[in-house]
Structure formats: C-alpha cells, structure tokens
Structure 1
C-alpha cells in the first residue's frame, strides 16, 4: 500500500521500496540501506502528523448545526496532493534528519505513493465510536460504521453563537478525524539503530555530557559570550541523526513507557526465553538483566546479545501495536546463527500479527529462515511432520504476498525474486558463500596434493 521512492539519497541514485508486512533490505556495506531506513522513518514521522481537509467541518462553523456527516472518500481523493507537498518539504529538509549540512542532500528527492483505493477498502473495514471532551466547552463525538466511508461528527455543549468556539469545533474536528484516518496508514514508527548496544549502556553518560554543555550555554547567554559557547558545542557535541536522537530519548523515558503490557508481549517473552535466557528489569533509570537463576546483573556486564536485544524486547512488551512500523538496522547484531534463526521466526510472527517489520540485514541465516517459513506455507505433504520436527508453528509461516525483499546494489535498489519452491533468491549471499566454499575446496585439495607429494 505504501511505496517509497528515493533519488540521490547518499549512494542511492534511484530506487523504490514497497513496504509490506515484512520488508527485507539486503546489500553490501555502503550501498545505502541505512539511508533508506532513516528516510522511511523520518517521512513516516512527518506523515503521522498530517492534517487532512474536510469541507463539511468548515460548513459546521458557518451554520448552526450540531451534527454533520463527513465523506472520507472526498478527503482521500485529495491525499496524493497532500503527500506531494509533504514529500517536497521533507526532501528539502532532509539534511536535518541526518544532522548534516544542507549541501549533503541538496539534490535528494524522496517520494511516496499510496494505493488510495486499497486504503479506502482498509478504512471501510474499520469502525469507531469515540468522544473527545474539550475543557469545559463541550464534546465532539465521531461515529463510523463498518462498510462505509461516512463518519458522523456530533458537537454538543459548544455555544453556536460563539464564533471562537465554532472555529474551535472545526479545527479540533479536522485534527481528530485526521488522526483516525491517518493512523491506519501512517502509524507510529520505531527504529532500532545499529548503534543500539552502546546506547543501551551509555545513555545516561550521553545525557550528562549534553546537560553540562546546556548549562554552559545558559551561562554564556548571561555573559553574552555566545561565540565561546558555540565553539564549545561544536567541539564537544557530535550531531546525532534524528533516529539516533529519538532512540536516546526513548531510553530516557523507559519508566514512562513501562506501564501496561501490549498485544505483542508474548513474542517478547519468547525472545527472552529462547534467546537471552532471562528477563530485563528497568529500575531507577537503570537496566538490569535477570538470568535464569534469578540473579540481577547490570547490563554493562551482561552478554553482547543481552545488550543488543534490550530495545526490541522492551518495545514489543510495552509499545508495539497493530499497524505500527518497526525498523531494525541489522537485527542479527551479536547473535549466534541459531539465535538469528530464532529471531527471524519471532519477527515473522510479529509481522503476521499486524506489525509492519522492516529490517536491513547482512544475515544469510535470517534470510534462509524466512525462506523456510515461505516454503512451509506452500507445503501440503508432510507439512505437519516437518513443522513438529523443527518446532515451527502456523503463526510463523509467511505468505509470499506479505514479504518484500530488496537488494541495494550499484547505486540502485532492485526487488529480489521470491521463488515458490526456494523462497527469496538472495544472490548477494549465495555468491559470497559459493566463493568461500570454492576457496576452501581449492585450499583443501592443494593441501592433500602436497601431503601426497611428500609421501
């Protein structure tokens, strides 16, 4: 339903990525995968605040009516124009996302195409009956039934003769109704950067350094010594890209998020049981690992696997919800091949349940495990026997139509083929593996010849 277009984005001269339940980005180092995931993340953030236009709500402030019916189809037909405007501004300000100078992305162009008709069908399958109270003025109620794109908006308690309150009704109504509509298309996006292991350990120290400089900045403002403060900032603070800064902010708000477990908590528990062999605990702004013996261990002395998976487990436990987007840069980070396979199955399960999972990976093991899940979904004979033998479950199996694999290669992005009998054709890994195997064979047989000659 969403197709992102990239031009002149870092090493990417041109390319497109269609986001599905599971989107897999592969390619060699320095081919632009992180550029792509950051751009998707940044644009998703922008679009989550998109406000649509509903002419009926404008009429509501001009007439003494307490109830109107809004046709969402009319608003959706104007969505392409809205998206073009947002994408244009986002492309112009792309340097802010990466915290670099403007010239670095002066010619970049990021676009987004939405299948409007498909989105309309999705909206027809949603319903809501929700009320919003605004201070002591009144209440706005929004009602939508299944199978329709019409929404009733009911205003009660607002003074019809009060022009300001009537304008407030129209403005609030547009904002709230936009959230209902857009949330099904541009839901919350969470990104786990490749730097997460170090950030999980040192986020308090990172904050301390910045707070000290902010304090110095305040002194500088008092003393009018702004030039010295500016120089100190430039010398001592490395600029963070927005996804990095947002992840740091997430780490500083852990206790605020850890209120109520969400619908993906069972997957988080599977990762803890099957991979890290323990649990996490957040207490007094510190993260601890609790091993199988119940011993509390500071995160900084735990294994690299425990460090790298903390953010994912916490997100799945408390924050993930159906329709949201989870982006992971190198999910295989610090994982043994067997654990990479287990993580692939957990991510497949989350994707099947409605979480949009986007990963950039160098892991042949993860791709092969996704292939197993793709092939098993097509298998009929001996399927139950094989699944039982290797511990697969039905909710892990992947449909080819739900998976979008891409290869970043030579300044472009190419879709990878999904073969019904083999799964994803990942030549980028196959060539390396075949070359390594060929080298091993040549070395082995050369050693054998030397031994025979010596005998």
Structure 2
C-alpha cells in the first residue's frame, strides 16, 4: 500500500463521516426542551466518548460487506471484502476541542407561516473549566434582517444542531477536499470527463450505486469540487488565509484565474497586464494547473480537511518551499492537512517551520504535536516522531548521498587519468 492509497483511505473515512454518518446525540425532543427552557448543558467528555465509540463501530462495520469501499476505490482487486480492511481507532481522533463558540440564526418554519415570529439565535459555547458544552436558544422578534433567514422545519434544525455538537466534539466535519496527482489533466479536461462520469451514473459511494464507475471516487469528487466551486473565483481568500499566506499565494499565482460561464471556459489573466488579456487555461503552465484546485479550496468558507497528493508536482524547488510554508500556515490555523510527497525540499522546509515554531516556545515543543510525518518504504510505514530531531531522512538522503559520492569519485577518477576538472 502506497502513500496515495493511504490518503485515499483517509478520504474514504472523511467522506463517510461528512455525508453518511448520523451522530444522533441531539434529537427533536431535545430541541423542544431547549426551546422551552432556553438553555441546556452537555457533558463534553461523556458525549465525546459516546460519539467516538459510535463512529468507530459504524465505520469499521463497513468492512463486513465492503460495498462502500469497493465503490470508493473502483477496483475489486484492490479492496476485497473479508481480506482487506480499513479501520479507525480512538487514537485517530484529535483530543483538543478547539471551537470556542458558534452563533447561528434560524426561523421556525411552522410558526413563521402562522405569523407568530419564531426567529431564534442558537449558540453553543464551551465551558472548559466545568467540562460542558453550553447550549442556548433565544427567540427574537422578526425584523427586516431576520425575516429573510431561511425557514427550517424543527426536524431539520435538530439535525443541524446534532451536527454542530458532533463537529465540536470530534473535529470539523465540513466537506473535505482531495486534490489528486491527476489534477493537472483533470483540470484541462474537466468538462469532458464530467460528461463521461454523468453518463456512467456518477454518485457518492455512500449511496451504494448498483454499478461501479470507471474512476476512483477521489477523482470523481475532485471534478465535482471543481464544478461546484468555480463561482468562488470572484471571492477573496478572506479569513481563511493569513496575510503571510496571501503574500505566498501572490508569488505562487502571480495572476488570477477566472471562469467564463457563457462559454464554460477557464481562463488566466497575467498580473499587471494593462490590456487585461486572458489566456486559455489549457495554455497556462503546468505549475499553475497544479495549483488551481488549491486556489479554489482556499476561497471556500468553512474549510474541511485538505488532502493533497504530491504538492510539489511540476513546481520549481523554490515554489515547493513556498507551498510547504503555505500548507504549514494553513494547518496552524486549524485546517487539517494531509500530504503525500516525494519532495526532499518540501520535507526539509517543513522541518524548518517546526524548528522556527520552537524558538518562541519555552518548552521548545512548538508545533511538534501538530505535525506528524510517516515514512513509507518497501518494508512498511513508520512514524518519524519529532522530525526536528532527525539528522537525516534516509528515504531521501540516502539517494542524495549516493549521487554526491559518485560525483566526487568520478572527479577523482578524472584527475587520476590526467584530465582537468576545470575543463
């Protein structure tokens, strides 16, 4: 099993968690009580243990029939029920519950239809000292601002609150995005491939289609992500990206992408081009094609996991370093990032970033606990631990040392034969 398939497995879990899993921690009866009382308290530790146990049991049970994974990988030889297993454990869930509070307004559809008001502000806030999640639900008078709020049935409201609580307890459950190594070709032939997939009954593997499609679901999901996100090209990165991140992006993508909806065509405009000339997407550099999906992801509101296969693809070493800096900054802003890479430049720059984070930390831990690196070799997978404590990365450095050693041997041989190394 290689790095890409490992990333696929992570995405298989995230996709199921986001599209199929029902927490059922907060029910319609709970909502009626919350509306009547206005406040409620949830013990976070007990609820989290219950939720994690439920997620593990239901996801691991998917291996019994294996239809979800077979549909996900689109390869009967790759995933074989009863032989292959993809499982999760309690250690796969982050311990830190980082959401400090959330504010959300909704309108009770039935009360609003009867002219009885029914606009509420729902809030969930963590009381770390007491180990509880405090819920409040206050009814307000409908005014010009709140009357335009989308009205929802109470059943839909209960399900949304259920997801909010689960999201708080086990990490963000927003839609994750997988940027596959095939993204350059997919970006160019997006429309053609999408039409083919539609004809082949494209569907989420969680829906258990009756026939297997041609492409692995991560490929299909990327095409869906592109098609559904092109409108984001007119939006700014906003709070998703720090000012440093925006400066890095301006170096990686010095111009801007745009979408011509009338002609269903992607374009790129060079920076500081007074004539505002647009270049067809198919003609831009492979490095820009490689970065296009990342650019769209960073414009999303409510970013989930980012899974990125070979971020160094088609990039000069200096740009590989910039991508490492960008992704590290994104991860430190609590957007989980999963990367598979062959790049020595990327890994070494990641080491530098973790080292830098230790300088201002009295305990010299920095972001060590937030960064995990695993080495994939023919003999298996191993956790490299604190990457700043490693003098070399054998997976990369062994080859580099071999090349350098041969270089000097050849120079010595050339001198012994009477040649000149200055020629």
- Normalising by structure 1, report the TM-score: 0.71
Could you say what secondary structure the match of 2:353 adopts?
A: helix
Distance 2:297 2:32 in 1: 42
Asked whether the 8 Å contact 2:179–2:308 carries over to 1, the reply is yes
CA-CA distance at 1:355 after TM superposition: 1.6
Q: Paired residue for 1:353?
A: 333
Asked whether the 8 Å contact 2:305–2:338 carries over to 1, the reply is yes
Change (3 A) 1:46 1:149: same
Asked whether the 8 Å contact 2:354–2:367 carries over to 1, the reply is yes
Could you say what secondary structure the match of 1:51 adopts?
A: coil
Which blocks of at least 5 consecutive residues in structure 1 are unaligned?
1-10, 12-31, 158-167, 215-229, 381-396
Q: Paired residue for 1:416?
A: 384
Distance 2:252 2:233 in 1: 22
Change (3 A) 1:72 1:429: same
Distance 2:102 2:35 in 1: 25
Distance 1:213 1:83 in 2: 31
CA-CA distance at 1:452 after TM superposition: 5.4
Q: Are 1:292 and 2:260 matched, yes or no? A: no
- As a proportion of its length, which structure holds more strand? 1
Q: Paired residue for 1:8?
A: none
Change (3 A) 1:190 1:35: same
Q: Paired residue for 1:319?
A: 300
Distance 1:63 1:293 in 2: 55
CA-CA distance at 1:51 after TM superposition: 2.3
**Alignment counterpart, residue 273 of structure 1, candidates 230, 247, 250:** 250
Distance 1:129 1:369 in 2: 38
CA-CA distance at 1:313 after TM superposition: 1.3
Change (3 A) 1:210 1:357: closer
Asked whether the 8 Å contact 1:44–1:186 carries over to 2, the reply is no
Q: Are 1:97 and 2:102 matched, yes or no? A: no
Aligned-pair RMSD on alpha carbons? 3.5
Residues 288-311 of structure 1, C-alpha deviation per residue, up to 9 Å, x if partnerless? 121234232111111111111111
Q: Paired residue for 1:33?
A: 3
Q: Are 1:241 and 2:216 matched, yes or no? A: yes
**Alignment counterpart, residue 166 of structure 2, candidates 182, 198, 210:** 182
- Normalising by structure 2, report the TM-score: 0.76
Asked whether the 8 Å contact 1:371–1:422 carries over to 2, the reply is no
Change (3 A) 1:446 1:398: farther
CA-CA distance at 1:180 after TM superposition: 0.7
Distance 1:87 1:404 in 2: 23
Asked whether the 8 Å contact 1:80–1:114 carries over to 2, the reply is yes
Distance 1:116 1:149 in 2: 22
Which blocks of at least 5 consecutive residues in structure 2 are unaligned?
113-117, 142-152, 202-209
CA-CA distance at 1:353 after TM superposition: 1.8
Asked whether the 8 Å contact 1:76–1:116 carries over to 2, the reply is no
Asked whether the 8 Å contact 1:263–1:321 carries over to 2, the reply is no
Distance 2:54 2:330 in 1: 31
